Chains A and B, each alone.
Chain A
Amino acid sequence: MTRVALLSIALLSLPAMSAPAEPPPSASRAGAPRGAPLSGPELDARTDEVGALLRCPVCQGLSVSDSPSSMARNMKAEVRDKLAAGYDQEQILADFEHSYGEFVRLKPTLRGVNWLVWFGPLLALIAGAALIASKLKRSGSGPDALPAPWSAAAVDVPDRGTLPDDPRLAEAMRRVRELAYGWPGGVPPKAGASA
């Protein structure tokens, strides 16, 4: 019982410890650097990686790494400076988010409504599959379940010698058959009775 109480107190105080209500008004809101200062090719590579996670605010769906705009260049320079100072990826992203909002993250974090972004399409796919499955089940299974017009017995398949009731049309079709198929008199060789 006391263990549960202690655990709940610890859990309740977690957000208070991890997210101070007011960011310190220092030059960097991210606090003390949590990572190791980078330099050389590693710094270049990490700058590109972190820049690829940031949305260029003046572009249409481009990351800071991909955009040639001066704003993206400035942001990339800031990412580089922060990495060189030892700030880690999450600190840098959080700092930009502080100014631009979550919009600036190209990969939305898994919280709140964002679950929908990550899993919504998958849920929609499963729901759609379930809907189709239930529809198929309700109408039975196999070819017997096909609606009446589609079963071969019900369809009035005309014989190839069939002619329309209109005598003028029938005459025209006979001539076409004679020309196209070489049937004398437009009568099919085996279906003379039906003509």
Chain B
Amino acid sequence: MTKILFTDKLNSCVERWRSAGLTVIGPVQRSNISMYGAVKSASELDLNLVLTDRSIKELFFPQSEPMLSYTITKADINTLDFVPPAGPRIIFGARACDASGLAIDDPLFGWDYKDDYWFQRRNETVIVTIACTKADDFCMCTSLKLAPDSTKGSDILLRPLENNKGWQVEELTDRGREAFKTIADILQEGNDPPAATVTVPEKFNADACAEWLKNQENFDSRFWKEISARCIGCGSCTYLCPTCHCFDIQDEGGSFEGIRRKNWDSCSFALFTMHTSGHNPRSTQSARWRQRIMHKFNYFPGKFSANSCSGCGRCTRECPVDMGITETLQEISKLSQ
């Protein structure tokens, strides 16, 4: 016997969580773009998507986030901290790749200097992940040693039952257990077996790629120029990525008052590394693409013991010139044979 949440009871759960003070968030369609958004009832949720167009990242690390406000008078500068809107949230219907992506970035936002903008939201959010029963050609979690039912970063894992009847509930963390206590009487015990998770074929060998990337000789390989020739440096891959965390800091306002913001930035942009002198360490698009791949699959794992990629495939799915991490790593896999 395991705990089952039946689909027709989902709206009662949403109501229960909302009346307990939680903001309920899940996959929704907004102006033809799917994303994770706040909902008032279960009917707003779109649980049939393979994956939302936009990743879960923006709920923890918004595209543009005020950090400080300043007021300058003749005698003083008054700086106030912005803190993220407080309050517990539950994300219902996350995908394993999105939830893993958050866990991948935790050590980055926490090493030495703790970024509270990230952690306050992380600590106040319960993540309920639904294992995938379908995938598309771009999904590649299995190539990153993750799976459609990975538990990394999730507080609850739901395994869909046959015929969309409901989900088998796996409570993973105390935070998840706490949130599910509020709906304890809505859950039922049952023996219904879960539907099979989707099989995502392995597209490349991540270990072989890591070895190839670590070899300093390959840093100057012609490969980088060839593989990135199509890149137009638009940065979509970065913005859609659940693990890309690079940001810029910009002031908005004037000399007397204004706001200092943290904005998403991308290693694809030429200005990203441009020195004042005009010197640019990564002056070509190929050098920037190399940085992107190296950072995700060599530098980041070297520091934080995990690839900075959870295999969601959005970078490839939405690339306007049909490039992406998948193709690059497939080619590297071939080179490393």
- A and B held together in a complex: no
Chain B residues close to A by CB (< 8 Å): none
Chain A residues close to B by CB (< 8 Å): none
